[in-house]
Amino acid sequence: MRNKAQYDLFVRTSPGRLFLKTSIPGAIGMLASAMYQTLDGVFVGNILGETSFAALNLAMPFVIINFAIADLVGVGSSVPISIALGEGRKKDADRIFTLACILIVLLGAAMGAFLYLMAPLFMRLMGAEGQFASDAVSYLRTYALMSPVSTMVFASDNYLRICGRIRTSMGLNIFMSVFCGLFEFFLLGICGFGIWAAAFASCTGMAITASISLAPFFRGKLALGFVRPVFSLQIVKKIVSCGLPSFLNNVAGRMTSIIMNIMLVRFGGEAAVSVYGVLMYADGIVFPIMYGSCDSLQPAIGYNWGAGYPSRVRSIEKLCYSVAASICAVAFIICVVNPSGILSAFIAGEIPSYAVTAVMIFAFTYITRWISFSTQSFMLALERSRYAAIISVSMAFIFPVALLIALQNLGLTGIWLNFPLTSLLGALLSGFVLIKERHSIMMPNHPESTED
């Protein structure tokens, strides 16, 4: 039995209006979350100093991997839940939802315990000593202790969008960013606490937001609800399969960043690393807008696919491609027109002579990046997780590392060229996937529904 409000939103609403109702709020919510991550670094660096800022960056890859595990379950469960609801199998959707929430808490506790115990060893292995290592351990251990109650926020956001509560999701993301920012400033700037307080502020905001997000599901007010948990290895396998592309992208991206930094230090020292950081911070604004726009339409794609409306799936996905292309076009123009302005926003001192060239080269990444991003999102929404994983790992690790090796004789120029060339290779791979899957996309396993 299908939920009427959800059916009206995902099936009856025109693609254009659906975009306005889902993608724009989703993009705003993601952007708000990304802005807080930037403020987190600003507060720690300016209030606590350079050592604490360095410690934050040293511990952050482990924090992101911890979040990636929760995101694996959240994203991985969203796809089969959307399809089950589209097919009218609400009981199955509720079972998947309930099991996924339990998995997130259990995995959060297990991963948190592991990180808490291993934090000192990890920092020693990375070469940290003294206050530098102590701050990094303190920061990571705070996240580890609060992992069971904070990581749920990465999944509850997906579940709200599945149930059509797009504006609620956006509002909670904005609330979380504002709360975390104000609370962190209070703890660091007014109370004078150490770096642990930065992590505590973030985790507290996440835990409160997750609690507010899950409340309607407990009250039975939405299309999804909690039921008696039933463990199913088959469901767990499907969740992992669908969430694996996002997880691999996060983990592989961390590994690539480490290798990239080694090469940057070799060819340009700290200044080159700073320029690379500017590129990543700038992209950290563009990417959430694109991700929020496409990811917010994923439940609609999965729902319509499960309901048997392949032509509507194609219409919605064309809109995803068009929106992503438009966002990338704007990013390209800004980078080309005002590279110095982008650099000066992050670098207060003298800007290296090659920095403007780096931004100009990086701008060409956006010419083709939208293709691989949209295709990966499309394949994931249709449960083609194998193709989504191939694109994800290739873009995050295989292509950039191979290009780093191939272009190392070009020095820093080779590193800057890595970005647009990786994007181009990803676009070619995505084109191959779309051609290979065109028949199944055009002709799904079930006939097009005629239900009104």
The domain limits of the chain are 1-231, 243-452
In 313-435, the DSSP E strands lie at none
Quick one: pLDDT at residue 447? 45
Q: Which residue from 79, 72, 250 is spatially nearest to 159, judged by alpha carbons?
A: 79
3-state helix, strand, coil in the chain (%, to 5): 85, 0, 15
Q: For residues 168 and 85, is the Cβ–Cβ distance under 8 A? A: no
Walk along the chain (452 residues) and give the pLDDT tens digit of each residue: 555 656 666 667 777 777 767 667 667 777 777 777 767 777 777 788 767 766 777 777 788 888 888 888 888 888 788 888 877 888 888 888 899 999 999 999 999 999 999 999 888 876 667 887 888 899 999 999 999 988 888 788 888 878 878 778 888 888 998 899 899 999 998 998 999 999 999 999 999 999 998 888 888 777 788 888 878 888 888 888 877 777 777 777 777 876 776 677 678 765 676 677 778 777 877 887 787 777 767 677 777 777 777 777 778 888 888 888 999 999 999 999 988 887 876 665 677 778 899 999 999 999 999 999 888 878 877 767 788 888 988 988 899 999 999 998 998 899 999 999 999 999 999 999 988 877 666 555 544 444 44
Q: Which of 392, 354, 355, 351 is nearest to 374 (CA)?
A: 392
Q: What is the pLDDT of residue 197?
A: 93
Task: Tell me if 387 sits within 8 A of 433, measured CB to CB.
Answer: yes
Contact predicate 266/91, CB 8 Å = no
pLDDT of residue 203: 93
CA distance 256 to 54: 19
Two tokens at 18? Answer: 């659906």
pLDDT for res 220: 76
- CA–CA distance, 219 with 217 (Å, rounded to integer): 5
Q: How far apart are CA 382 and CA 18, in angstroms?
A: 18
Handedness of CA 226, 229, 231, 232 (dihedral sign): negative
- Compute CA distances 111 → 10, 65, 87, 271, 350, whole Å: 36, 10, 35, 35, 42
The angle at the Cα of 448, spanning 447 to 452, to the nearest 5 degrees, equals 135
Residue type present at position 405: I
pTM over 0.75: no
Residue 187 confidence (pLDDT): 93
* Locus of tokens 């290592």: 133
Comparing CA positions, the residue from 288, 286, 280, 416 lying closest to residue 343 is 280
pLDDT at 451: 42
Alpha-carbon distance of 24 to 160, in angstroms, equals 15
Cα distance between residue 171 and residue 145, in whole Å: 27
- The DSSP symbol for 446 reads S
Look at residues 25, 38, 72 and name the one whose alpha carbon lies nearest to residue 180: 38
d(CA 359, CA 361): 5
Question: Which tokens in the block code for residue 438?
Answer: 């065109």
- Contacts of residue 313, Cβ cutoff 8 Å, sequence gap at least 6: 301, 304, 305, 382, 441
Q: Which residues contact 298 (CB under 8 A, 6 or more apart)?
A: 78, 79, 82, 161, 377, 380, 381
Cα(116)–Cα(160) distance, integer angstroms = 31
- Looking at residue 261, its pLDDT comes to 64
Give the C-alpha separation, 226 to 96, whole Å.
10
